[in-house]
């Protein structure tokens, strides 16, 4: 592939890690962010210490607060801002973009209020004549590991196989491998909804439960994620792929995960407001839990884990009582499709 000009919107942990992957692959990367101090640090010190204390970035990675400048020569725009900022940034892009680009995103959440997936937001805000089909890149990928070039495998999903292949070629190398997929709804919902289950898995740890409980929440979490996703139009098999099981394993078992750590702190009795303030990075599972709970109510989909976490996060339910409530639910058959 010939070298591409890539605009990465969102200089957080994942945007920074992906900027290094793309630079390693010979592309020209410019990161867009709205904090002048952070942008100056990337350009002058070649560090982004708020997210990576000990990492020195490739000097070829540039950054800017000027969106028009960032987009001027872009072949591709990669959105990696938190879900709650996606619509705002997409509107800003639509105002200044003056040529057709490839659009990728790597964010994992559902929008509050609208309950929309990220690709739907981008389709709504960026006129079709300025872009190809949106491609989502998602899977088990902690930025802390990708930034040190540890092996990472993820999916690239787009309605159009050609756009998915473009993302695959753009990002793949000896430590990063992408698989194409056309189930955008499946890959996006898997990435968004696993964050809720990761909060639950962390909470179990914080409460002192063991490995049996953790395996149970991941497995039954997968079942309810699949139920909601299929009702939204996804293919069930997607959930046993990288974006589903893969990301549930990595986020539901790792201390790198902000969602897991938030759950762990909740389980140990900390208050949500304090946890969010101390994290200093986005905990997508908190807002996505609300969106998923509301969606499950509207679509009449049973999601006991999501419902319990929603009540813990938003209604003050004590985590231990929530777990007891789930254990005392009516007896069930394991496979609802039988």
Ligand X SMILES: O=C(CO)COP(=O)(O)O
Ligand Y SMILES: NC(=O)C1=CN([C@@H]2O[C@H](COP(=O)(O)OP(=O)(O)OC[C@H]3O[C@@H](n4cnc5c(N)ncnc54)[C@H](OP(=O)(O)O)[C@@H]3O)[C@@H](O)[C@H]2O)C=CC1
By the criterion CB under 6 A, which residues form the site for ligand Y? 10-15, 33-35, 51, 80-83, 85, 88-89, 106-109, 141-143, 281-282, 284
Q: Does 227 bind ligand X (CB under 6 A)?
A: no
Tell me the C-alpha distance between 233 and 120, whole Å.
Answer: 13
Q: Are 147 and 132 in contact (CB under 8 A)?
A: no
Q: Binding pattern to ligand X, positions 61-100, x when CB under 6 A?
A: ----------------------------------------
259 marked ligand binding residue: yes
Q: Does 259 bind ligand X (CB under 6 A)?
A: yes
By beta-carbon proximity to ligand Y, the closer residue of 272 and 317 is: 272
Tell me the C-alpha distance between 111 and 131, whole Å.
Answer: 22
Q: Which does 247 bind (CB under 5 to 8 A by kind): ligand X, ligand Y, none?
A: ligand X
Tell me the C-alpha distance between 312 and 321, whole Å.
Answer: 9
59 marked ligand binding residue: no
By beta-carbon proximity to ligand Y, the closer residue of 89 and 228 is: 89
3 marked ligand binding residue: no
Contacting ligand X (CB under 6 A), which of 12, 140, 221, 252? 140
Helix axes 83-96, 118-125, angle to 10 degrees: 20
Contacting ligand X (CB under 6 A), which of 48, 86, 257, 296? 257
Q: Which does 317 bind (CB under 5 to 8 A by kind): ligand X, ligand Y, none?
A: none
The residue among 76, 101, 94 whose CA lies nearest residue 8 is: 76
Strands 135-138 and 102-105: parallel
Q: Does 308 bind ligand X (CB under 6 A)?
A: no
Distances (CA, A) of 53 to 27, 46, 50, 75, 199: 25, 12, 7, 31, 25
Give me the residue label for tokens 């790597």.
106
Q: Which does 243 bind (CB under 5 to 8 A by kind): ligand Y, ligand X, none?
A: none
Q: Does 136 bind ligand X (CB under 6 A)?
A: no
Q: Which does 250 bind (CB under 5 to 8 A by kind): ligand X, ligand Y, none?
A: ligand X
By beta-carbon proximity to ligand X, the closer residue of 71 and 201 is: 201
Task: Give the DSSP H/E element, type plus range, for residue 261.
Answer: helix 258-267
Q: Which does 259 bind (CB under 5 to 8 A by kind): ligand X, ligand Y, none?
A: ligand X
By beta-carbon proximity to ligand X, the closer residue of 28 and 177 is: 177
Task: Give the DSSP H/E element, type plus range, for residue 288.
Answer: helix 284-299
Residues 6 or more apart whose Cβ sits within 8 Å of residue 274: none
Q: Active-site residue among 49, 53, 194, 311?
A: 194
Structure tokens at 134: 């949106």
Q: Does 244 bind ligand X (CB under 6 A)?
A: no
Active site residue 194: yes
107 marked ligand binding residue: no
Contacting ligand X (CB under 6 A), which of 48, 155, 251, 287? 251
Give me the residue label for tokens 């920074």.
16
By beta-carbon proximity to ligand X, the closer residue of 33 and 263 is: 263
Structure tokens at 278: 């101390």
By beta-carbon proximity to ligand Y, the closer residue of 282 and 323 is: 282
The residue among 97, 60, 70, 96 whose CA lies nearest residue 10 is: 70
Tell me the C-alpha distance between 243 and 154, whole Å.
Answer: 7
The residue among 331, 327, 328, 309 whose CA lies nearest residue 318 is: 309
For the CB of residue 185, give the shortest distance to ligand X in the complex, in Å. 18
Tell me the C-alpha distance between 33 and 39, whole Å.
Answer: 7
Which residues have a catalytic role annotated?
A: 194
Mark the binding-site residues for NADPH, compressed into ranges.
13-14, 108, 143, 258, 282, 284
């Amino acid at each position: 592939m010939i070298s591409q000009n890539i605009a990465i919107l969102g200089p957080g942990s994942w945007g920074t890690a992906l900027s290094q992957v793309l630079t390693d692959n010979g592309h020209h990367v410019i990161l867009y962010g709205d904090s002048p101090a952070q942008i100056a640090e990337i350009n002058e010190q070649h560090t982004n210490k708020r997210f990576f204390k000990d990492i020195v970035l490739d000097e070829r990675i540039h950054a800017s607060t000027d969106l028009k400048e960032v987009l001027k020569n872009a072949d591709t725009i990669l959105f990696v801002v938190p879900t709650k900022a996606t619509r705002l940034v997409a509107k800003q892009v639509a105002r200044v973009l003056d040529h057709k680009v490839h659009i990728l995103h790597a964010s994992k959440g559902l929008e509050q209020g609208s309950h929309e997936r990220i690709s739907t937001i981008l389709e709504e805000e960026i006129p079709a004549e300025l872009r190809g089909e949106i491609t989502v890149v998602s899977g088990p990928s902690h930025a802390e590991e990708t930034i040190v070039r540890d092996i990472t495998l993820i999916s690239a999903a787009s309605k159009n196989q050609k756009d998915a292949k473009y993302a695959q070629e753009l990002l793949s190398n000896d430590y990063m491998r992408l698989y194409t997929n056309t189930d955008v709804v499946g890959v996006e919902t898997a990435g968004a909804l696993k964050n809720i289950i990761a909060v639950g898995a962390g909470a179990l740890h914080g409460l002192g439960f063991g490995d049996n409980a953790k395996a149970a929440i991941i497995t039954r979490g997968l079942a309810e994620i699949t139920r909601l996703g299929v009702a939204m139009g996804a293919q069930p098999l997607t959930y046993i792929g990288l974006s589903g099981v893969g990301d549930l394993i990595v986020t539901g078992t790792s201390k790198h995960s902000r969602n897991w750590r938030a759950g762990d702190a909740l389980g140990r009795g900390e208050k949500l407001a304090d946890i969010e303030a101390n994290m200093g990075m986005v905990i997508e599972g908190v807002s996505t839990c609300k969106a998923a709970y509301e969606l499950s109510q509207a679509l009449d989909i049973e999601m006991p884990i999501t419902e319990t976490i929603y009540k813990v996060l938003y209604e003050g339910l004590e985590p231990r009582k929530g777990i007891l409530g789930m254990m005392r639910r009516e007896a069930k058959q394991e496979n609802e499709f039988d």
